[in-house]
Structure 1
Amino acid sequence: MTRLIIAPHADDEVLGCGGLLAKYPDECVVAVCSVPSHIRREEAANARRVLGYREMHWLELEQGYGGRSLVTAFDDLLDKHQPDEVYLPYPDLHQDHIAVYEAGMRSARASMKADHWYARSVFVYHVAAYSLELTPTGLKFNTFEDISGWPVSAKALALDAYRSETSPPPSPSNGHALTTQAHALGSTHRLDAAEQYAAVRIIR
């Protein structure tokens, strides 16, 4: 099993999939689209050490990325890792999240080319910092990952590793807030803690 998590910015992988990364570290590869500052690169490395996942790619795309070049970059990424599952950000208010979601969906297409990698399952993750969308997508958060125990603790610690980005409560961008959200979501599904995903495609 290989799971590819595509993040517009370093810290989105933790906000959306931190528990998943901690739960299945040997199966997970993260690709970050934006160009990181020196500080952000160090913070991402610290977060990765907490979560323990196997590999991170820096695509280092310039601000305002999008269009065909982004699809091509994702095509190459899928061809290299041949993931069973792909995770994309929810297309909320942030333009980079929208661009990555749209390009990721195009890259996950069933292509007419025989050498185009077709991931069998595609999921969309929730970034708690944003709660609105510009255009209704029809996506429903209908898949829930049990991240009880170490995964939810690791998710909080990993987000707090992004010291330049975290803010104290009531901001959603800190480990305490993520833990609170995960426990609240989990309780609605008889779990101690959970992450939510919208399943776009699942092939078993």
Structure 2
Amino acid sequence: MRETGLRELKKRRTFDAVSAIAIGMFLEQGFDRVSVSDIAAAAEISKPTLFRYFPSKEDLVLHRIADHAGEPARVVAARAPGQSPVDALHRRFLDGLSSRDPVTGLNDVPEVLAFHDLVFSTPSLATRVHDYQVRDEESLAAALPAADPLTARLAAAQILAVQRVLARENWRRLSAGESADALYPAAVRAADAAFGQLRGGIDQV
């Protein structure tokens, strides 16, 4: 049992180390200018070993985003008795703002900002992120207690669009030079207004 635990720990350390090396190289040289062979050489492992950890070059970067896959659906499933799905997701977003969760866009650590720019300026990475978003939409729709599947899909799309727009606006303002701490009060107000709009409907626009 202990041997299995040590083996898993070693695998996790290798996984994290290879990913960190790859992301550092991508940030320095650009995603398309770094090959898998370059990364394997820098990590001192073979290409077949690298592919055992990461099925594709994109996975070297996007596992950080994949770790959050399905989170909206999990938040809805774990909500308190009597709490609506929108209230649960609103609360989760506010908690994320408070903790400076990069998912909310409110994180001004230079490495996090650089990672964001890498992902969304690289077409193959941005496409994969879109795929994750589609799957999140599907899993959230399945978790919503809607009257019919179409209503659930429409609600899930609206909820996740609100979160994406809020996060994008936070990233935009941080990239323009604002600090996360200074932006925090405005980000909370924007989140409250956006989730309020979800509850009240589009007619209030």
**TM (normalized to structure 1)?**
0.26
TM value normalised by structure 2: 0.26
Instruction: Report the structure, 1 or 2, having the larger helix content.
Output: 2
